[in-house]
Structure 1
Amino acid sequence: MTSTFKAVSCVLLLAFWPVAASAGDMGTGRRLAEAQCRTCHGLDGIAKIPVAPHLAGESEIYLQAQLKAFRSGKRESEMMNVVAKNLSDDDIADLAAWYSAIKIEVEMPE
């Protein structure tokens, strides 16, 4: 692959990326997570109830997209639609920054 082709491919990918993720503040995200998310998803991003997914180490872009989908009602969850409806874009970016920054390790079974 030529360097020109690679550069054009990157530009096209970025131009058509469906969600523009803004960089959030991890400290603010941690405080929001302590106040609103820890009961179900844990402050550490490891779910505390069976119906909640783990958030630790998820992609920041993915987390922002899902929270915005819950906020708009595009994605439905009785709990999450209520929680997300009052989140601002900055709140969402901050929460995504916090949970995506958590490092997790995976150990494969032998």
Structure 2
Amino acid sequence: MGLTACFIVLAVREARELLFYWSNGWNFFEDSKINWATYYNRRTWPFPQRPEDRMSNKQRVCFGRPFFIVLVGFFAAIFTHVTLHPEQWRKEVHGSKTTYHYIGVPQPDAH
């Protein structure tokens, strides 16, 4: 549920920023004032960030946030699948219940 909410918030913020820049003729020099986070280039990461290392508006809107949307969406899909289909993660072998913590590697059930 938490990842789904995060995905929705990121997608809505991205849509608002895309609409803002679309209505301004894709002028990325103007800041949309929609962003709550600061995105930095990875040149000096994880060391303290300098103001000149901040991503530009265009990098943030076209690359930074879409990357996080895809990443969060991928993990949300995996967690949703595991939550809604727990029977695929349990199997009975010779009368003994076995739990699959990893695909294809049976682990004995603790019960």
Where on the TM-score scale, by shorter chain, does this alignment land: which range? under 0.3
User: In terms of Rg, which structure is larger?
Assistant: 2
- TM-score, with structure 1 as normaliser: 0.23
**Structure with the higher fraction of residues in strand conformation:** 2
Q: Relative contact order, CA 8 A, sep 6+: which one is greater?
A: 1
- TM-score, with structure 2 as normaliser: 0.23
